[in-house]
Structure 1
Amino acid sequence: MNYKQLSYFWAVAKAGSLVKASEQLGVTPQTLSGQISLLEAELNVTLFKRVGRGLELTDSGRIALPYAESIFETGSMLEETLRHQPKKRPRVFNVGIAEFVPKSIAYHLLSAAMSLENPIRIVCREDNFETLLAQLAIHKLDIVLADRPMPSEVNITGISYKLGESGTSFFAKAELALKYPGQFPERLHRAPMLVMGEDSLIQRQLMRWLNEQHITPNIVGEFDDSALMKAFGMAGIGFFTASSVIAHEIEQEYGVIKIAETDEFTQQFYAISVPKRANHPAVVAVNESADKLFLFNKTPASTSL
């Protein structure tokens, strides 16, 4: 179907005559009549019948008119929408957050992207490390925030940037801390403790370090979600650890106290992206915000893996 011919039919039907429609459209009546005849031949129907000096719709014309009106109303809506759409549409920034990365650290790293001159819409996905790398490989993600670099055995051409590292602080509800007085780390011996899941690097580092100190805590909870672990800590269920860079925030948010801090084992944080996404303005912003959070000079940890 020729939609220009359909528009001529619609204009004539609304105007009621060829002459009025031709004046509105700026074409001759002969042109309108010829184009409508071609449309009638294409559809194998008669759309108008002459009554006196005017035109009336046939039964076929009355059936066709609502369809034509719907088509051109939709076209007008499309034109209006495109004319008034925002000049700067937000650029989507797809972020994968590995399950053992603390939410508050992820927020600090990502918040800078929201202040860019060109608007950004962040889409965050939390999952296990392997699943996020697979999504990065097929370009469903622009960046992955993780507690480890991309493994060398992974067949993905990518870049792992070390954003920074942090010492580890120990926290507890004040009432619980009073029940286990003494020097650190000896006071943790047989004390109730909350730890991250067994797949997290920080849990393995913590248990290895405690073993070296001949400290055996009473593990009362194990969590994949650090926020849930902190919530249990806030309830006074057990001692727990977190990155020292957010220690003050944890004390304020969860109503706990920091009982000790150590740099003998640290938490590390990485941004992983593929070369095609490395220059995304939000990826650059994440790397720059890490300088302020960790005061750490970033260098590529692994490339072309």
Structure 2
Amino acid sequence: MTPLNFKHLHYFWVVAHEGSITRAAERLGVAVQTISGQLSLLERQLGKALFNSQGRGLVLSEAGRAALGYADRIFELGDALVDAVHNSGNDNTLRLRAGISDGIPKLLAYGLLSKVTAMSDDVRLICNEGEFENLLAELALHRLDVVLTDRPAPVGGNLKVFSTPLGEFATGLFACAELADRHRADFPHGLGGAPLLLPTRHHALRNHIERWLERLGIRPNIVGEFEDSALMTTFGRGGLGLFPAPLALAEQIASQLDAVPIGAMDGVSEQIYALSNERRIRHPAVELLCAGGNAGETPAVWGV
């Protein structure tokens, strides 16, 4: 198969964003005939029409929309390449761009990433928080080096992503002192009607907790559902309800959130994965983070 001509692809990309060959020619400073000829060559190579005529203008065909998605990613990576090369050698800082799924406890993310911040190299940690699907898309576009999340990457499709288990953390229920005194005595059977804060159904932990409650025949009063684990623990600290968290973080939760564990939820655990791009030469900080992954239950987070 003939290699793709990126000059032809660039002309297509500009036409698609400008909406017309004339405007694209003005932007690129070339003749309209030049762009038309390059588009024809690209369409001939791909074997599909990339545009359909609509009145006096052009609209993308189905094949054109698919091609534009890839072209966007290609030229975004090109811009990133230029920036990376331009800035290389300016300092010796190793940058790790980490995405953190909003459902992961932030204290847990800090404990896991402390391996990276403790590296002998000069490391700059750049963290983004967001929903799983958005972070996965950013990883696919190489805008992130690693994503910490509560589930592995989906199997199949065009994504080439590694999923490395970092640990499995036993989970319990925590609460402010007043609620803890009220519900600790007959735990877990005394939780019927107790105010409970839960992650939304987008998070894997939610399903584990619901199965645990169903197995015990307990029906608490769910007073709040949260996408962001930090927001959930903030409301828990304020006394709105009991909230789940890794038992390994009990000391930190007590000191920072003034909340104490009520009891363990037997069989309920939070799994953390590191998602990274499939590359032959991988980021040294990602390698360190994933080293020793799939080690099973991690009794303590700090110093991981």
Aligned pair 1:187/2:168, yes or no? no
2:213 corresponds to which residue?
210
What is the CA deviation profile of residues 19-49 of structure 1, one whole-angstrom value per residue up to 9, with x for unaligned ones?
A: xxxxxxxxxxxxxxxxxxxxxxxxxxxxxxx
Work out whether residues 180 and 261 of structure 2, in 8 Å CA contact, stay in contact via their aligned partners in 1: no
Q: Judging changes above 3 Å, is the alpha-carbon distance between structure 1 residues 257 and 295 closer, same or farther for their aligned structure 2 residues? A: closer
Of the structure 1 ranges 177-186 and 187-196, higher mean CA displacement relative to structure 2 is found in: 177-186
1:132 corresponds to which residue?
135
Aligned pair 1:268/2:271, yes or no? yes
Aligned pair 1:143/2:146, yes or no? yes
Q: 2:113 aligns with which of 104, 110, 115?
A: 110
Q: Judging changes above 3 Å, is the alpha-carbon distance between structure 1 residues 118 and 218 closer, same or farther for their aligned structure 2 residues? A: same
What is the CA deviation profile of residues 127-147 of structure 1, one whole-angstrom value per residue up to 9, with x for unaligned ones?
A: 111111111112111111110
Per the TM alignment, residue 89 of structure 1 is displaced from its structure 2 partner at its CA by: 2.5
User: Residues 1-305 of structure 1 correspond to what in structure 2 (within 5 A)?
Assistant: 88-180=91-183, 182-276=185-279, 279-288=282-291, 294=298
State the TM-score, normalized to the length of structure 1: 0.64
Q: SS at 1:273's partner residue?
A: strand
Q: Aligned residues: percent identity?
A: 38
Q: SS at 1:241's partner residue?
A: strand
Structure ID, larger Rg: 1
What is the CA deviation profile of residues 178-234 of structure 1, one whole-angstrom value per residue up to 9, with x for unaligned ones?
A: 333532211111011111112111112111210121100001111111111111111
Q: SS at 1:135's partner residue?
A: helix
Work out whether residues 100 and 147 of structure 1, in 8 Å CA contact, stay in contact via their aligned partners in 2: yes
CA–CA separation in structure 1 for the residues paired with 2:258 and 2:280? 40
Q: Number of matched residues? A: 212
CA–CA separation in structure 2 for the residues paired with 1:131 and 1:278? 24
CA–CA separation in structure 1 for the residues paired with 2:254 and 2:268? 21
Aligned CA RMSD, in angstroms, stands at 2.4
2:3 corresponds to which residue?
none
CA–CA separation in structure 2 for the residues paired with 1:232 and 1:154? 39
1:20 corresponds to which residue?
none
Per the TM alignment, residue 117 of structure 1 is displaced from its structure 2 partner at its CA by: 2.3
Per the TM alignment, residue 162 of structure 1 is displaced from its structure 2 partner at its CA by: 0.5
Structure 1 unaligned regions, length at least 5: 1-84, 297-305
Per the TM alignment, residue 293 of structure 1 is displaced from its structure 2 partner at its CA by: 8.9
Work out whether residues 170 and 297 of structure 2, in 8 Å CA contact, stay in contact via their aligned partners in 1: no
State the TM-score, normalized to the length of structure 2: 0.64
Q: SS at 2:205's partner residue?
A: helix
Structure 2 unaligned regions, length at least 5: 1-87
Per the TM alignment, residue 262 of structure 1 is displaced from its structure 2 partner at its CA by: 3.0
CA–CA separation in structure 1 for the residues paired with 2:91 and 2:297? 30
Structure 1 letter corresponding to 2:270: Q
2:56 corresponds to which residue?
none
Structure 2 letter corresponding to 1:182: A
Work out whether residues 132 and 149 of structure 2, in 8 Å CA contact, stay in contact via their aligned partners in 1: yes
Structure 2 letter corresponding to 1:105: L
Structure 1 letter corresponding to 2:148: L
